[in-house]
Amino acid sequence: MHSTRSSTRFSFSIDSLFRATVTTVALSIIVLTVLLAFELYFHSRLSLHQFGFPFLWQTMWDPVAEKFGALPFLYGTIVTSLIALVIAIPLGLGTAIFLSELVPHRIAEVITFLVELLAAIPSVLYGLIGIFILVPWMRAIGMPYGVGMLTAGVLLSVMIVPFITSVSREILCAVPDSQREAALSLGATKWEMVRMAVLPYARSGIFGSIFLALARALGETMAVTMVIGNRPEIKLSLFEPGYTMAAVIANEFSEATTDLYLNTLIEIGLVLFGVTIIVNAIARLLIHMMAHKGEVVS
């Protein structure tokens, strides 16, 4: 009896230690996020006081006159990310369906390894590929400069396809075989089985992979900097050069010789941080709504 009580106490202490450890780790993520936001805010106070909220919709960027606005960079970031998603979603999701539903397991593993290898390539190498291959090709098809928002969006799509493919494939592979067998037993074709049984079951995870890729696209720096043209203007034509928030920070941080200039670049980082949080919050909300809708339907 005494041995049993000692064993129970020992197990309880181990469980308590485990709970305390993982709770501390989880809370540390929240603390780090808050500290990061505070540091960005603290070091951008001069710019926040000088320009206020109109900074978000001002278009002038003149370091000499110290007149700054973030709208061209917001515009460039959002446009290039949306271009990347439009191209990458069908490619990534189609590849994921192909790997999970159509090819033998051994072949799928080899192709999946190659896809994941693309995600491990440094972004500066993607930038070099963009400069030497994509930019001349874009110039050949009619873009006046070769560099521009369309070029950056296409390059970004190549970079985020592996994220959509890898995560979506894992989600699709996790769908129970009973879903597939039930659809096939009712006479569904392979495509109908995927469309009506597999994809609806996995839609929450697929949305998660898309927003994960979007977060990568929003924060990408070097590759975009090398092919977007780096011009702080708002142009409706996708063939024109543009600028992104990450690119302007990377390009001009070392050139910031005044406190206001430096604080303004840090404020752009704060805006990018806020956009990323908003995008992830929307993603979580959509995933929750999708999951809730699936529970209601079932």
pLDDT digits (tens, 9 = 90+) for 106-151: 888 888 888 888 888 888 899 999 999 999 998 888 777 888 899 9
Give the best-scoring range by mean pLDDT among 14-18, 39-43, 58-62, 149-153.
149-153
d(CA 148, CA 139): 10
Neighbours of 146 (CB within 10 A): 20
pTM of the model: 0.84
Q: How far apart are CA 106 and CA 109, in angstroms?
A: 5
Give pLDDT tens digits for 240-286: 898 899 888 888 887 878 888 889 999 999 999 988 888 888 877 77
Q: How confident is the model at residue 90 (pLDDT cuts 50, 70, 90)?
A: very high
What are the residue ranges of helices labelled H in 61-198? Answer: 71-97, 105-119, 123-129, 135-140, 149-173, 177-185, 190-193
**Hey, how many other C-beta atoms are within 10 angstroms of the C-beta on 231?**
18
pLDDT over 80 at 198, yes or no: yes
Mean local confidence (pLDDT), 182-186: 83
164-179: average pLDDT: 86
Average pLDDT for 65-91: 91
Q: Which tokens in the block code for residue 109?
A: 């593993």
The CA distances from residue 256 to 45, 56, 234, in Å, are: 16, 20, 23
Exposed / middle / buried, residue 41 (Cβ in 10 Å: 0-12, 13-18, 19+) = middle
Mean pLDDT of 73-87: 92
Q: Which is nearest to 158 in space by CA: 106, 91, 93? A: 91
